[in-house]
Structure 1
Amino acid sequence: MNTNSYEIIPIVLCGGSGTRLWPLSRKNFPKQFVPLIDGKSLLQLTLERVSYLSPHTRSNIICVASDDHRFLVAEAMSLAGVEASVILEPCAKNTAAAMGLAAFRAQPQDLLLFCPADHHIPDAEGFRAMVQQGCPAANAGAIVAFGVVPSFPSTAYGYIQRGLLNDDLHSSQVVHFIEKPVADKAQALILQGDVLWNSGIFLCQADVLLKALQQHAPDIFASCSQAMAGATREQAFIRPEPQALIACRSESIDYAVMEHHDKVVVVPFAGAWSDVGSWNAVADLTPSDAQGNRVDGNGLAIDASHTYIYAPDRPAVALGTNDLLIIDTPDALLVASRSHAEQVKTVVAELEVRQTPQALLHRKVSRPWGWYDSIDSGERFQVKRIAVKPGAALSLQKHHHRAEHWIVVKGTAEVTRGHETFLLTENQSTYIPIGEKHRLHNPGKTELEMIEVQSGSYLGEDDIVRLDDIYGRHFTEKIA
C-alpha cells in the first residue's frame, strides 16, 4: 500500500485531567504534558508520530486544548518541530465538542484524524499503515474507528465488536460499542474473538462528522457552529466564542455519535498501544527484573516483588514489598496496591474536597518564559528557584503586599526596576520594594537561573498587577 496516497489533517485532542497518574500528573499539569517516555511528553510523541502521516502534515496539525495549557502545547509543538493551529477551549466539554470545533475549522472534504494526545504507540510506521488502511472507507463517507487487538481481558478499556469484513474498504462494520466491562465480562469478550479495544482514534471527512453531529447531537453541533463563527485568532491560537461553548453539553463522541450512527467501521491495529491511563500502565513501559520489580529513577527494591518505584529525585527504597506502586514527587507521595491503581482518581477528588493544593498544582510550575519551583515557605516568606529561557521575559508587574530579593546563580539577568534598567551576573543580587514596577529578562543565549526570596503580609500568586506582557496574557490572570 502506498502510505503517502492520502492527505490527512491530524486533530490532536489535548484535553483531559489525567488524575489517575497523580501525583505526577495534576489538573494544572495533566499527563499529556509530563515527560514520561525518554524525557519526552506523550503530547510531543503524538505530534511527532502524526507529523509523518502524509507529506504536509507537519504544518497542517490542529490541536484542541484548554486555554490554561496553551503555552504547554506551544512548547510541545516546538520540541516536536511541527506547526499547528491551536483551538483553545475556555472550559472542557469532552470529545464531541472538541472534535466538532476542529471539523468546523477544516474544509468539508478534508480527511481528519482525531487522536488523543496521551497515548503511547511506539511503532510509528505501523500506526501510519493503520491510518492509511482506513482512508478508503473514510473517503467513502464512513466514520472509521481504530481498534487495538486485545492482548488480555482489560477492564480499563472500552471494546468494539466488529462484524463482516469489507475487503474493498479494508474495514469491518461496527456491530456494537461496549463500555469498560467488569473482569468476567472482559474475559468473555476476549473469548468471542470478534472484539477490539476502543483506542479513541477516529478518521473521517470533516463534513461527515458535522452531519453526524447535526443528526445525533444537534445541540452540540449548534454550540460548536456558533462558537467557531465568533472565533478570534492570535498567531497560532484560535479562541472560539466563549459563551457558546460554555453553554454546550459535555458529552463523549462515543455517546453523542458513534453508538447511534449507522455508518461506522473499524480497522484493527496489532501493534503495541497504551492509553497510559494508570500507574500500572506506566509501570508496564519499564523493563522488569527477575522478581517483577520495575524501577524508574532513584529507586531500590530489596527482597521485593512486583513493585514499581517512580523516584526521579531522591532515593526511594522498597523493602520486602509485594504488588505495590510507589510514586515519589518533591511535594507528594503515593503508595498504593497495584490492584487499586484505577482508584487513584478518587484520592484526587478527596484531596480537592480537603482543599489540598497538591491536588491541582505541582511545586514546580511551567510558564511560557520558563519555570519556577517553590522550594520553601513559612510565615511571611517564600523562596522560589526561577529559570528563564534565553530571550524570554516575565511580565512588567508590581505587587501590593510583597517585596522580592533576587540572586542570580547562573546566566545574566536584565532587570527593570522602576525607571532604571541594569544587568546582573552570577552571584549578584537586587531588591524589589513593595509596589515597585519590575521585570526580569534573559538577554543571553543560555538559561538564566536565580533565587527569589519573597517577604510580606501576603504571598499569593494573585498579588500581581501586570502592566505589560509579551505573551499576551490577561493582566488579571493569576500567574507570575
Structure 2
Amino acid sequence: MTLIPIIISGGSGSRLWPVSRKAHPKPFIRLPDGKSLLQHTFLRAAALQDVSGIVTVTNQDLQFGTADEYREVNPGPSMTMLLEPAGRDTAAAVAAATLHVAATHGGDAILFVMPADHIIRDLDAFGRAASRAVALAGQGRLVTLGIKPTHAETAYGYIEADGEDVVRFVEKPSREKAEEYLRTGRFHWNGGMLCFRADTMLALLEKHCADILDATRASLETATKLDGAGGEALAFEAQAFARIPALSIDYALLEKAGGIAVVPSDMGWSDVGSWNAIAELTDADEAGNRVQGDAVLVGTRDTYVHGEKRLVAGVGLKDLVIVDSADALLVAAKDSLQDVKILFEELKSQGHEAHQFHRTVHRPWGSYTVLEEGERFKIKRIEVKPGASLSLQMHHHRSEHWVVVTGRAKVVNGDRELILETNQSTYIEKEHKHRLENPTNDPLVMIEVQSGDYLGEDDIVRFDDIYGRS
C-alpha cells in the first residue's frame, strides 16, 4: 500500500491577528511547546504507517517558510509542494493533490488529507482513526473523520451518521439546531480530514465537479518544476490556475456524493479558530488568568495575555484577551473575538501593512526586521542564511546604506563587487543594481538604512534571482 498524506496549508490569518498575518498565516503560529501548528501537522503525517511521501498544497509565497518549518523538525519522508499563485479553496487543492499522486504513485495510492492549522491532543486516538480510515479507503470508500462534539458549536459544519455511513453533511447550524444535534448523538463535527484512493476521488470529481477537475488538470500540465525548497515543488501558472472554480470540497463534492464513510473519533481536536482556543492551551491560575510571555496582573480575572517582546501589565481587568506583538496590540472582550476578522478586513481596506506583514518578514534568503521608520527613512536589521543570496535588484525611489554587524558579505554595488567584513559599510545609490550575498557557513547580520521619497516594499526591480522571483 502507498499512503501519501496531503497537508493543506495557507489562509489569510484574519481570526488570529496580530500574530497571524497574510504573509505569516495561522499554520505558522507557535504553540506554547515551541512548535508551530504546521510542524505538528507534519509530525502527525509522518507518524502514520506506511507513509511513502508527504505532499503540501500551499501558496507560492509560503514555499520557503514552509520548507524552513519542516527542516526544523528533521523530516524523514520525501516532500513535494504544490504551489498555488492564489487560493481557489479546498476543491482545487484536493483535485491538484489527487492528480499529482495518481500520476506519480498510481491510482491505487491512498491519500490522507489534513488541514495544517488544527490541534489534535490525543495522538493515539488520531492514529487509530487514521488506520481505520485507510482500511476503508482501501476498499474504495471516500472516508471522512468525524469529531465527537463536546458542546453545541455553531462555528463548525456537522456530519450526520448512521454507524460508519454518512447520512448527510450539514452547514454551520443555528444554536437551536446545534443543541438538537448534540442531543441525538448522531452528529459529529466535520474536521476537514479525508481519506481515499486516488482513483476513487478522480471518479467522484469527474461525476460531481468535472469543471474543477478539468481546469485543475490543465493547470497542472503547465506547472513549473522548482528546486531548492527541501524537495520537489510544482508552481502553478497564475492565469491557468485562476480558471479553476473556487469552491470548497464539501460544497463541490461531499454534499452531493453518496456512499461516504465516517470514522468517529474523540481525539481532542480543535480548529484553533479564535484567541479563546489559543488561550485554552495555557493553564489558568487561581484567578482564571492565562499568560503566555511576561505579564504582571493585579486585580484581574479571566483574562488571557499573549506577550512577545516586552512586559504586559494589567490592573482591574476582566474577561479580556490581550495580544501584544512587536508592531501591533490587540485588546478585545472575550465575547467579541469573532469580530477580530472584521478588524483584519478593515486594516486590509485601509491598505495598512499590518494586515499582511509582521515587523519581522521571512524571505527565501533569511529575514528582515523593521527597527524604526519615519518620514523619508527606514532602518532594517537583515539576516542572510549561510550560502544564501538576495536578488540582483534596483530601487527607483530610495538609496540604501549597508553596515555589516556580524559575518562577511559579498556585495554587488553598481559596477563594483566587494567583500565587507564586520563594521564595514557601503552606500548604494538609487537606480544602482545591487546584490547582497552570504558566502560563508555562518549567518550574516547587517543594518540597512533606507532614505527616499517612497520606501514601500514594492519599489523593487529584480534582474536575477536564484529563487525564481525575477
- 1:370-385 matched pairs, under 5 angstroms: 370-385=366-381
1:139 to 1:274, Cα distance in 2 relative to 1, 3 A: same
Would you say 1:231 and 2:223 are equivalent positions? yes
Alignment-derived partner of residue 137 in structure 1:
136
**Mapped contact 1:18–1:277 kept (Cα < 8 A):** no
| Residue number in structure 2 paired with 1:240 | 236
Query: Aligned pair in 2 of structure 1 residues 442, 43: CA closer, same or farther (>3 Å)?
Result: same
Within a 5 Å distance, the mapping from 1:267-282 to structure 2 comes to: 267-282=263-278
The separation in 2 between residues aligned to 1:406 and 1:244, in whole angstroms, is: 41
Q: Which of the residues 10, 26, 30 maps onto 1:15?
A: 10
Q: Write out per-residue CA displacement over residues 97-134 of structure 1, whole angstroms, 9 at most, x where no aligned residue.
A: 11001111112111000111111123334322211111
- Give how far 1:267 is off: 0.5
- Counterpart of 2:308 in structure 1 is 312
Q: Matched residues in 2 for 1:378 and 1:319: separation? A: 33
Structure 2 residue matching 1:73: 3-state secondary structure: helix
Partner of 1:397: 393
1:64 matched to which residue of 2? Answer: 57
Aligned-pair CA distance for 1:331: 1.6
Contact 2:270 2:277 in 1 (8 A): yes
Does residue 127 of structure 1 match 2:126? Answer: yes
Q: Structure 1, residues 274-321: CA drift from partner, whole Å, max 9, x if none?
A: 111111111111111111111111222221111111111111122211
> Of residues 75, 81, 89 in structure 1, which corresponds to 2:84?
89
Find the aligned partners of 1:467 and 1:245 in 2 and give their Cα distance. Answer: 26
Q: Please say if residues 144 and 266 of structure 1, whose CA atoms lie closer than 8 Å, have aligned partners that are also in contact.
A: yes
Aligned residue runs from structure 1 range 106-125, under 5 A: 106-107=101-102, 108-125=107-124
Q: What SS does the aligned partner of 2:310 have?
A: strand
Which residue identity does 2:444 align to in structure 1?
A: L
Residue 326 (structure 1) shift: 0.6
- Opposite residue 345 of structure 1, the aligned amino acid is K
Query: Which amino acid in structure 1 is aligned with residue 293 of structure 2?
Result: G
Q: Which secondary structure does the structure 2 equivalent of 1:460 belong to?
A: coil
Per the alignment, in what secondary structure is the counterpart of residue 449 of structure 2? strand
Q: TM-score, normalised by structure 2?
A: 0.94
1:25 corresponds to which residue? 20
Q: What fraction of aligned residue pairs are identical, expressed as a percent?
A: 44
Post-superposition CA distance 1:121-170 (Å, at most 9, x none): 23334322211111221111111100111222222222211103xxxxxx
Q: For 2:46, which of 36, 51, 57 is the aligned residue? A: 51
Aligned-residue RMSD, C-alpha: 1.7
CA distance in 2 between partners of 1:157 and 1:362 (Å) = 29
Q: Which runs of 5+ in 2 are unaligned?
A: none
Is the Cα contact below 8 Å between 1:77 and 1:84 reproduced in 2? no
In 1: Cα distance, 2:395 partner to 2:350 partner: 29
CA distance in 2, matches of 1:198, 1:30: 22
The answer to whether structure 1 residue 180 and structure 2 residue 179 are counterparts is no
1:80 corresponds to which of 73, 76, 87: 73
The residue that corresponds to 2:466 in the other structure is: 470
Q: 1:144 & 1:364 partners in 2: Cα distance? A: 41
Paired position in structure 2 for 1:446 = 442
With 464-473 and 309-318 compared, the bigger mean Cα shift is at: 464-473
Q: Does 2:245 align with 1:253?
A: no
Match of 1:411 among 395, 407, 414: 407
Structure 1 residue 241: deviation in Å?
Answer: 4.3
Secondary structure of 2:311's match? strand
Query: What is the SS of the residue equivalent to 1:233?
Result: strand
SS of residue matched to 2:247: coil
Change (3 A) 1:161 1:56: closer
1:218 alignment counterpart: 210
Task: Specify the SS of the correspondent of 2:19.
Answer: coil
Superposed displacement of residue 75, structure 1: 1.6
Instruction: Answer yes or no: is the 8 Å Cα contact 2:400–2:429 preserved in 1.
Output: yes
Deviation at 1:341, TM superposition (A): 1.5
Q: Given that residues 7 and 54 in structure 1 are in contact (C-alpha distance below 8 angstroms), is that contact kept between their aligned partners in structure 2?
A: no
What SS does the corresponding residue of 1:106 show, helix, strand or coil?
helix
> Which of the residues 354, 358, 380 maps onto 2:350?
354
State the aligned residue count: 460
Q: Distance in 2 between matches of 1:238 and 1:371?
A: 24
Structure-1 separation of matches of 2:12 and 2:265: 26
For residues 325 and 68 of structure 2, the distance between their equivalents in structure 1, rounded to whole angstroms, comes to 23
Residue 263 (structure 1) aligns with: 259
Q: Residues 379 and 449 of structure 2 are in contact (CA less than 8 Å); yes or no, is this contact kept in structure 1?
A: yes
Aligned to 1:458, what secondary structure does the other structure show?
coil
